[in-house]
Structure 1
């Protein structure tokens, strides 16, 4: 029998609390949340990694890219990346290893809050 375990990794404690509150407001059992950076730790075996809007800083993007490649090649982990098309992400070398899954239009208030970004895309990472 297969049991899926879900864990949320969010290094900002306040964001972790917001995730828990969001789960409760939507009548979901809150997921376990780990509030530390795991990029320098020994990797666990993940079947799926879903991450969003993480390529806003070049050093973080480079570390994350290396870590995701290691997860993919070591454990055959599937990686889905959501990003609204920030310049740092569009200009990163990871672009050559992505395949578009779906693109969503952002609601008008979100567009205004995000300096004119109009869509967000989910990418399948395939190094």
Structure 2
């Protein structure tokens, strides 16, 4: 157990913060970043949105793979700071980040939308489904989703419109942190329009 965890449990006044969701390198994001790095042509010269970017791993992978423009988007302002720090740790110029909720907004000409681990609740899955369909229908956007098999993705109608591109085994430590999930899949979202 980390020192921070001990402080949270035994002396919460010394560490008043819960573990931020963006500080975890989620398995869907891991698979998505690995897929982008293994297939750099997918982002080359593209305008890319990393939606729900968290720590910015997928945005960084896209930048390293030659995207023309990359925007990291997460509603938590601290996630934007984490993305900037992770760019610095990877010797990259910072990726632009915005913290407004882009889901439901007017699509901005994205060639590619990357999203990892975003299907964790039904209401969000519904919003994503509608907005992503609009991006695809109006602009021909390619959508790649990284997910380890979360219940909302499995039960939502969107699953029938996903085509698997790659599957990656998760390291043992990641399996333990994610309730025994053993792999993560990168999907291409191709809805019927």
TM interval, shorter chain, is over 0.9
TM-score, structure 1 as length reference: 0.94
TM-score, structure 2 as length reference: 0.63
Cα RMSD of the aligned pairs, angstroms, is 1.2
- Structure 2: gaps (5+ residues): 1-44, 47-67
- Structure 1: gaps (5+ residues): none
Q: Secondary structure at the match of 2:186?
A: strand
Aligned partner of 1:104 in structure 2 is 168
Q: Secondary structure at the match of 1:30?
A: coil
Aligned partner of 1:18 in structure 2 is 82
Please tell me whether residue 38 in structure 1 is matched to residue 102 in structure 2. yes
Aligned partner of 1:51 in structure 2 is 115
Paired positions, count: 126
Structure 2 distance, partners of 1:40, 1:125, is: 17
Please tell me whether residue 120 in structure 1 is matched to residue 155 in structure 2. no
Runs (4+) of structure 1 exceeding 6 A deviation are: none
Cα deviation digits, residues 24-71 of structure 1 (max 9, x gap) = 111111100011101132221110001100010111110010000000
Q: Secondary structure at the match of 1:7?
A: strand
Aligned partner of 1:84 in structure 2 is 148
